[in-house]
Structure 1
């Protein structure tokens, strides 16, 4: 681990410590209409935050209250976060795309009496649903330019009020900070989902402080670094980066998807958090630019990438950073080692020259000095993964979930193995469980089995694991037993001691963009059709959802006498596609990312003992494996 000289035991103390240590250094920066970034120092952010906290306390906010925070990435978000935490309260964050259903469930369920809103549009959503928010007493507008009326308070007016109170000697905020306990909540994040109500993940100060302190040493951040913030700030993945930056004196530059290309050139970041979709878009943009260029440029790029791929591949093998899921005998390893030494020296000079002429210019698309990015929120496609690591932009893929604050594993520069999510996070325990019989296949515990290259369900235990789901002991008990969190993911430990994610044992589908989709409500809706007997929604780590469908022989007997006959019938395929499109639509209450983009018809039904359990539940991992090629055919471009 990197040695962090941090005495703070909670985030409120960490904010104060950062202000004292980094003072006038830039902490956060936002750009104006002229594309110029204006920084605010650590001292200024803390001062505004503690002034806001003082005003909130004066309004009646109690320690351990829950306060809504509906906003996207902007300076006011972090000031509001400071204000809430410095009162000893916890925030309940969500983005400006919050739906009416989210508002009417999350705010009452979280017991929020106060809510920050970013702008007029979010305020209107709150007002529209106010009759269903009986506990909400105070609404605070974050945007300085939006006028307030009708009892809505201005955040900047509150900051000024708190400033005056502190000038008169008010030190209630300091008293609150001293009372914050490590086990107190710092946030209550409601997971998205379409099956049942959202679940409120309770994360404590100790959870987040452990993430800050346990950051591996070779992903070190220093005050000379620059980070761009593009992922939704209310997601815990982006939020942990905010905390890491604060603890190490790093300036965070707020951007958005519209401005990201410009801002990468303006800010020239050295590090960032990212999602697979960003890298895939950049990858496709690079290829399109190359393909649209003259033949000489294409030839130079192909030669440069060929040399880089061979050189970097040799380096990865010789440093034990090439994916190894099977293990190799010493004889084969020796032969491959000799071959890679030859490959290394053969491509050394060509790679240096072509990197300077070609690849350096490509890296300039990210600002030219990006020394790494942690990608999370979904699996990085292997071809995209290898491409960026080969051209000299290290992508450190990580793995985690909201319930684990979120990081459970991440690649480091020394352990950068494409195709894996790197080694287990420091001070984290891991078990891989055989889902068929409950046997422990691998465990970090001393004296336990340590079978590599064998997949099992991932269970974890560590200081980052959540306290539980708010007011939902039944859901908590399903995933937490004796401190062990069942992630619902399937993984294996490779022979170079990294974690590789291979699938999911639970039902949630996570799309490439990080959207969580519960397939059961979609499947239930599809099964309302008389033409569909069975179905399964797929799309894990893909851009969109698709479905594999077993047609109903009884209702389609005019087109064929068996499932196999129906699967071959073009008219049946058209009819079922139209049916799926009609059933899964915005008009039917589904979100845009829940739509089924492609469909395949199966030639045989799911059967008990094969694709189905004795209770007729789909064995998703069995179906996924059995129809892997058919599923992949829906995602070939």
Structure 2
């Protein structure tokens, strides 16, 4: 079967289903409807091997039966420490079909994570991806005592092999074992679907309790059009709730998910020609940087043609955005101004239509071809997408549907839709979700979606939400739960505003807000996103809490300094320091819209880049507390 095989469409009468009691019931419903459709495709020997819905159901039911035979009980907790692979989804579905809840984590799980998560979650079974992860677990014999270990791939005589358990469960079911059905009969929508330990930027990981009702609310309300014939490329860690909800959406819609990775992403884009994918800002930033690097090597004629194309596309698509009501609007405008802008936009569309069509086919089509040429959209989440990158890809004809949410909200709270795609925002609020924006200092309610409440648009405040996707709470931590959940309202800790075209715009984190000695509140994220536009800057954080002014810790883009192979020498190179200093002054200036107290007065170059599992979370967000503690002396040197 090739990667371009079209899925068999379900009869129209089967398209809409009633609300499901659990994700397990939703999966079985899909497996029955789309039995012969490919559900997952995994790379084997350079080619994708398909697993149909019927095959996946049989594998999951068999594995669930074997787990029950080993003593797994309803509502038990089962660890899954692995990356994206077919065995992951087999284990995940088997746990759900057995009436239990999983505790997922990546194969790069650290010793501190193991010491906290394994005992805290009370897991009784643990799937590990390979012998490398198995050896990590064996370094903690006191923690895994009483935990049944299951190996996904590789050989070890002392633990169960997942493939062997599937075969054992298959034999039991052939003999009439129906304990899976008995376990599922007792599942309720309020039972735990998953227990995810956050890898946040501050503090120890907390166990987020998400129920089947939480996940079902996401799947049955999603405003993004996912179809049965879609090809969904999976690149983000599946143990994160953002990627996982997309896999569940794909299962619910009957389409196929292709597991990819960073190494094979470029080839997989071309070979699979995905129509949809979940993505992270860092992916698009990397692609954008690659395009600019290639442009630097191109001839002056090609660079000029590209600049012309981008200018025409931005004007043409920008005019269309205004006419559709999809231009970022945080100030509002009069009816007269709106009418004038509309007339001018119509003129621009008419004048630029022909050159846009020609240049799009000559230049921008090649950019889309790099993604396979069939991408109808990508949902970006897990962090803020820089505005210039956001505009670039949307103007290139790659719809980026940026969304917003947290692990605690299952995760989606808002997401752009094809009809309301407003760059610079995270789209309209999710269906059946209530929003409040409150003044961070006074607690005054500034905006709410509730009837009769204030509707002050364009005013920044702290975001509070209420809806069916809000977590049950933090596992074994009522105090932490009470801090963020009050009367059903969840305090996200994020700052944002509602735009005049009814989209949410995120402006920063209330916990990240830097308060200078003069009392000025500064949001570091917009400053950081602006500095990341520089081709000479790879990573950074802005600091300055309780100081007179802002400073920054910067990781330079080493490829831009050919004379250096090590970050340690680059960090003290006078030329590099001069280049970065000029970039900081150019980007963070009054001309760019920054206030005087928002200027970065000093900086230091770091001797190594931020790395996932160390200074970065699994979603590649910077752990600010780790960086500031590690480089405390360097930070202080900027204020001496």
Q: TM-score range by the shorter chain?
A: 0.7 to 0.9
1:394 aligned onto 2:394 = no
Q: In the alignment, what sits opposite 1:148? A: 156
* 1:324–1:106 Cα change, 3 Å: same
CA shift, 1:595, in A, is 3.9
Is 1:38 the counterpart of 2:45? The answer is: no
Partner of 1:88: 99
1:571-590 matched pairs, under 5 angstroms: none
Paired residues for 1:360-509 under 5 Å? 360-507=365-512
Deviation track 1:505-564 (CA, whole Å, cap 9, x = no partner) reads 124x9xxxxxxxxx99xxxxxxxxxxxxxxx99566664334338889xxxxxxxxxxxx
Q: Which residue of 1 aligns with 2:278?
A: 273
C-alpha change, 1:377 and 1:195, in structure 2 (3 Å) is closer
Q: In the alignment, does 2:27 pair up with 1:8?
A: no
Mapped pair 1:548 → 2:544: yes
In the TM superposition, 1:37-76 aligns within 5 A as: 37-76=48-87
Return the alpha-carbon distance in structure 2 between the equivalents of residues 454 and 381 of structure 1. Answer: 21
Give a deviation string over 1:464-519, Cα, whole Å, max 9, x none: 00000000000000000011000001111100110001111124x9xxxxxxxxx9
Task: Note the 1:99-114 alignment, pairs <5 A.
Answer: 99-114=110-125
Q: Does 247-256 or 8-17 show the bigger shift? A: 8-17
2:509–2:523: 8 Å Cα contact kept in structure 1? no
In the alignment, which residue of structure 1 is the partner of 2:199? 192
Residues 342 and 462 (structure 1), Cα distance of their counterparts in 2 relative to 1, 3 Å cut:
same
Q: Is 1:28 matched with 2:40?
A: yes
User: Given the two structures, how large is their TM-score scaled by the length of structure 1?
Assistant: 0.82
- What are the Cα deviations for residues 200-221 of structure 1, in whole angstroms up to 9, with x where unaligned? 00000000000000011xx211
Give how far 1:600 is off: 7.2
The separation in 1 between residues aligned to 2:638 and 2:335, in whole angstroms, is: 46
Partner of 2:222: 215
User: Does the aligned pair in 2 maintain the 1:434–1:456 contact within 8 Å?
Assistant: yes
Aligned-partner Cα distance in 2 for 1:89–1:11: 12
What is residue 139 of structure 1 aligned with on the other side?
A: 149
Instruction: Identify which of 17, 29, 41 aligns with 1:17.
Output: 29
The alignment's C-alpha RMSD in Å is 2.9
SS in 2 for 1:544: strand
**Any idea what the Cα deviations from partners look like across 1:424-450, whole Å, max 9, x if unmatched?**
000100001111111111111111111
Contact 2:507 2:523 in 1 (8 A): no
State how many pairs are aligned. Answer: 550
* Structure 1 runs not aligned, ≥5 long: 510-518, 521-535, 553-572, 606-637
Secondary structure of the residue aligned to 1:503 is strand
> What secondary structure does 2:402 align onto?
strand
Are residues 1:344 and 2:355 paired?
Answer: no
For 1:195 and 1:129, how far apart are their aligned partners in 2?
A: 25
- 3-state DSSP of counterpart to 2:492: strand
- Residue 241 of structure 2 corresponds to residue 236 of structure 1: yes
Residues 287-332 of structure 1: CA distance to partner in whole angstroms, max 9, x if unpaired? 2222212222222212211111110000001111000000001121
Q: Counterpart of 2:401 in 1: which secondary structure?
A: strand
What's 1:126 paired with?
137
Equivalent residue number for residue 157 of structure 1: 164
Offset from partner CA, 1:210-248 (integer Å, 9 cap, x none)? 0000011xx211121101100000000000000000000
Asked if 1:292 is matched to 2:297, the reply is yes
Q: 1:585 to 1:372 in 2, by over 3 A?
A: closer
Q: Any idea what the Cα deviations from partners look like across 1:411-433, whole Å, max 9, x if unmatched?
A: 00100000000000001000011
Residues in 2 aligned to 1:537 and 1:389: alpha-carbon distance in whole angstroms: 26
SS at match of 1:366: coil
CA pair 505-67 structure 1, distance change in 2 beyond 3 A: same
Q: SS state of the match for residue 195, structure 2? A: strand
Judged with a 3 Å threshold, the aligned counterparts in structure 2 of structure 1 residues 22 and 3 are, in CA distance, closer, same or farther, namely closer
Q: Do the aligned residues in 1 keep the contact of 2:218 with 2:469 (CA within 8 Å)?
A: yes
Give TM-score scaled by structure 2 length.
Answer: 0.81
Q: 1:173 aligns with which of 149, 159, 180?
A: 180
1:133, distance to aligned residue in structure 2 (A) = 3.7
Give the drift of 1:577: 5.3
Q: Answer whether contact 1:550 1:603 (CA < 8 A) is retained.
A: no
1:262–1:6 distance in 2 versus 1, CA, 3 Å: farther
1:420, 1:498 within 8 Å by CA — same for their partners in 2? yes
Q: How many Å separate the matches in 1 of 2:460 and 2:523?
A: 23
1: CA distance between counterparts of 2:636 and 2:332?
A: 38
Task: Write the distance in 2 (CA, Å) between the matches of 1:242 and 1:311.
Answer: 35
Which ranges of structure 2 fall in alignment gaps of 5 or more residues? 1-13, 516-521, 533-538, 549-599
- Structure 2 Cα separation of the partners of residues 242 and 443 of structure 1: 32
Equivalent-residue separation in structure 1 for 2:257 and 2:494 (angstroms): 32
Partner Cα distance (2:30, 2:425) in 1: 34
